[in-house]
Amino acid sequence: MSATIRVVVREKPAVAPVANLTVQLGDVVDRTFVASGDPVPAWTTSGLPPGLTVTDLGDGRVRVHGTPTTTGTSVVTLTATSSVGSASTGFTLLVQQAPVFTNAADVELEAGVPASVLLRVDGYPAPTVSAAGLPDGLSVVDHGDGTATISGTPTGGGRSVVRLTATNGAGVTSVTIAATVTAAPQVTSAPVAKVVAGGAVKLTIAAAGFPTPVLTLEPATGAGAAPQGFVSLAASRSAAAALPAGLTFTDNGDGTATIAGTPTTGGRFRPTVVATSASGVARQTLDLTVAAITGTDVEGDDRVVVGDSVDLTFRAGGYPTPVLRVVGLLPPGLTFTDNGDGTGTLRGSATIPGTFVVTIEADNGAVQRFSATIVSAVPTPTPTPPAPDVDEPDTSTPADDDPAPDAPEPAADDDETGEPTAVPDELPRTGASALTSLVVALGAILLGALMVRARRRRA
């Protein structure tokens, strides 16, 4: 008797390890996995992201396919099962997305005002954000979660092109935005200027702010300072113009303006510059001094005798009040003092004879020289009267009929001063004594005339 025995050998399922998979959002996934074993195992899966499905092909193979619809990291488990056992394998599925800025738009900020602008970026893994070209005072902070903040306090006005960059494992994305920082206008140039009447002038007025301000002059409501001195400059007091006559104001269209020309009048002027833009209005009052010498003169006696006192006053008018100083050397014995009011005095005593030119310089920014000529004369010496002639005594007895000697003539009055003028005794008619007496008489007359002239000049 015999028997047949059928032996069926079964094999547990077995699967090979598989590699992790990285795809981009929107990419198609189609992957097949194989399991061995007898009987043929059936497949089950878990952890598939949305958009992917699994199809058991019935021959030990399984197909994972589809298009992921969300980003992220998924741990997918595949299990092959039969009547004799099961085996599993798995892999990590990374669905990435390249960075995409979702709110990158132009921004408007204000200088000096704290700012905070939030940026959002889609993408997986979470992108990092950087920025280049930010206005001064601003920086970007990446929060590590796909967001970043531009923050800080902008320090100046202007328009900047900012490049934003987001980076992750899926790629790099860059966009540009415009960052506009408005700034209120401000006149930045120095408000004080000093020029000279009659000289060429070119002053630059500068302003800051954004948008670029327009510069104008405010209409004059008052007058410039009246000049000082001897010449009237009525135009410098005119309220019809904000600038001195001869100067013009031109806006250059770039935040600057030019005051140019040749001023014809002196004085102090206070024009107001107005800077205007969409961000506001600013004003600055300038202090413009136009220096001018308006007149000079010298007062006093410039004809003296050695030993006499000298007292001359030099005067210069203008705006501002001129400073007076000596140019060159003064005659010995004389000193000059600036009185601080546009006048100066030359005083002292003439010590030597001669003709001296004293030059004075008046300076208030404008410079002018003027002079006086001093003539110092030698005093006329007083003549020594001659000794009288001694005649031989006359021993004869005059006859009764000799005439009596003539009586001396009375002193004659000076026709102009009323003071007496010496009249010499009757001159001898013969001999050397007659010549001597004549010389003495003429000298006395000349001395008297000189003394009268000197008194008149001192009066």
Residue 172 has pLDDT above 80, yes or no: yes
Residue 301 has pLDDT above 70, yes or no: yes
Q: How far apart are CA 114 and CA 318, in angstroms?
A: 53
Q: Are 334 and 314 within one domain?
A: yes
Q: How many CB atoms lie within 10 A of CB 445?
A: 13
Q: Are 174 and 202 within one domain?
A: no
What is the three-class DSSP state of 346?
Answer: strand
Among residues 269, 292, 315, which one ends one of the domains? 292
Q: Are 195 and 285 within one domain?
A: yes
Q: What is the pLDDT of residues 201-212, one digit of tens each?
A: 999 999 999 999
Give the domain extent around 195.
188-292
Q: What are the backbone dihedrals phi and psi of residue 54, each rounded to the nearest 5 degrees, phi first?
A: -125, 140
Q: What is the pLDDT of residues 303-350, one digit of tens each?
A: 999 999 999 999 999 999 999 999 999 999 999 999 999 999 999 999
Q: Are 61 and 129 within one domain?
A: no
Does residue 349 sit within a domain? yes
Does residue 43 sit within a domain? yes
Residue 413 has pLDDT above 80, yes or no: no
> Residue 142: what residue type?
D
Can you give the pLDDT at residue 115?
A: 96
Residue 191 has pLDDT above 80, yes or no: yes
Q: Are 195 and 172 within one domain?
A: no
Q: What is the pLDDT of residues 31-89, one digit of tens each?
A: 999 999 999 999 999 999 999 999 999 999 999 999 999 999 999 999 999 999 999 99
Q: Are 319 and 335 within one domain?
A: yes
Nearest Cα to Cα of residue 324 among 354, 296, 302, 294: 296
Nearest Cα to Cα of residue 331 among 312, 358, 298: 358
Can you give the pLDDT at residue 227?
A: 46
Q: Are 165 and 202 within one domain?
A: no
Does residue 156 sit within a domain? yes
CB 199 within 8 A of CB 129: no
CB 175 within 8 A of CB 106: no
Residue 232 has pLDDT above 50, yes or no: no
Can you give the pLDDT at residue 118?
A: 96
Q: Are 347 and 264 within one domain?
A: no
More confident residue, 81 or 445: 81
Q: How far apart are CA 283 and CA 269, in angstroms?
A: 16
Among residues 81, 96, 111, which one ends one of the domains? 96
Among residues 184, 215, 231, which one ends one of the domains? 184
Domain count along the chain: 5
Report the sign of the C-alpha dihedral through residues 414, 418, 421, 425, in that order: positive
Q: Are 276 and 320 within one domain?
A: no
Does residue 397 sit within a domain? no
Portion of the chain with pLDDT greater than 90, in percent: 73
Does residue 385 sit within a domain? no
Q: What is the CATH number of the domain that holds 196?
A: 2.60.40.10
Portion of the chain with pLDDT greater than 70, in percent: 78
Can you give the pLDDT at residue 380?
A: 75
Can you give the pLDDT at residue 379?
A: 80
Can you give the pLDDT at residue 456?
A: 59
Does residue 403 sit within a domain? no
Does residue 218 sit within a domain? yes
Mean pLDDT of the chain: 84
Does residue 398 sit within a domain? no
Q: Are 319 and 265 within one domain?
A: no
Residue 177 has pLDDT above 70, yes or no: yes
